[in-house]
Structure 1
Amino acid sequence: MNFGQDNQVVEYLFLVDQDEQHYIQEQLKQVGLNVMQARALNFIDQNPGAHQQDLAKQLGKQDASTTNILKVLEGRQLITRRLQPGNGRQKQLFLLPDGQALIVKVRSVFTNLEKRATTPLTKSEQATLLATLKKIHAELSKSNDD
């Protein structure tokens, strides 16, 4: 994709994003997960006992889609859904031992990607790039009132 000289920043952000997504998908495929399943496992690991609705909000998915993701993870014995004491409708989410082992592998995918992405950069360049990306993110995250 070539947007021309006036759009080089956007073009390279797009290319880096494509490379990153491809790497993540390929690595997760090797451990038998897709991106949404990996995000769900990570959320549950970081928020043991969270409710399905919390996960749905975090993933930006409808409740039915989130339930389908959880059914797959539960079927693989990676998570468990338990009814909240005193509330027979809300289910809490917890990792099972196989899920805890798999989340370590998932995190290594992102650690390895970080190493690959930062290897050609000095520490100073990394700090500058991070600060620049934060500025870009803040600007792009603003409401589109213009």
Structure 2
Amino acid sequence: MTTENNITALIYTIAKQQTQWLTATLKTLNLNPDQAKALDFIAQHPNTNQQALAKALGRSAASAANLIKVLEKRTLLTRQFGQHNERDKQLQLTAQGKTLVTQIKQQFQVLDSLATGEFSKTQRQALLAQLTQIKQKFDS
């Protein structure tokens, strides 16, 4: 199967290349992709809990707990008791974690620029609309 005439094969190839680039880039920040996703999720959902993080990452609760322990040990996040439930610990980024999230977002901007930097605004908007349409087909 050639990628030139097969849209899904081309999307798959691009996704694989981007994943390789991103994994290598995150490695320079001493992170793996799941750790980066976890930090980004917590940044977007302050005071979230372990269950919500596990669901967002598609991991088991035990696997998410291990990931949280690693990030906590690296002082990238803290766990604090919830106001209404002492068993439910809320996750918050530390200043160091917030700085790392900023660096992660910068790397995504670099990746976006690598992929579409030479496109006009109209081309970018059209591509984004088409890819969003494809994604929505798989979301349903």
TM range (shorter): over 0.9
Q: Does structure 1 retain, via aligned residues, the 8 Å contact 2:3–2:10?
A: no
Task: Give the total of aligned pairs.
Answer: 140
- What residue number does 1:50 align with? 48
Structure 1 pair 14/86, CA: closer, same or farther in 2 (3 Å)? closer
Structure 2 gap segments, 5+ residues each:
none
Alignment of 1:1-146 (within 5 A): 3-4=1-2, 8-142=6-140
Deviation at 1:5, TM superposition (A): 7.4
Between the aligned residues of both structures, percent identity stands at 35
- What's the offset of the Cα at 1:139? 1.9
Quick one: which amino acid aligns to residue 80 of structure 2?
Answer: R
Distance 1:6 1:92, change over 3 A: same
| Residues 22-58 of structure 1 deviation map (CA, whole Å, 9 limit, x = unaligned) | 1110110000001110111111111111111111111
Q: Deviations over 1:64-107 (max 9, x none)?
A: 00001000000001100111134221100011111111111111
Change in Cα spacing, 1:6 to 1:15, as seen in structure 2 (3 Å) is closer
Return the letter of the residue paired with 1:129: L
Q: Secondary structure of the residue that 1:48 maps to in structure 2? A: coil
Output the aligned Cα RMSD: 1.5
Task: Return the TM-score normalized by structure 1.
Answer: 0.89
Higher alpha-carbon Rg? 1
SS of aligned partner of 1:43 = helix
TM-score (norm. length: structure 2): 0.93
SS in 1 for 2:88: strand
8 Å CA contact 2:80, 2:91 repeated in 1: yes
SS in 1 for 2:6: helix
Unaligned stretches of 5+ residues in structure 1: none
CA–CA distance in structure 1, aligned partners of residues 47 and 123 of structure 2: 40
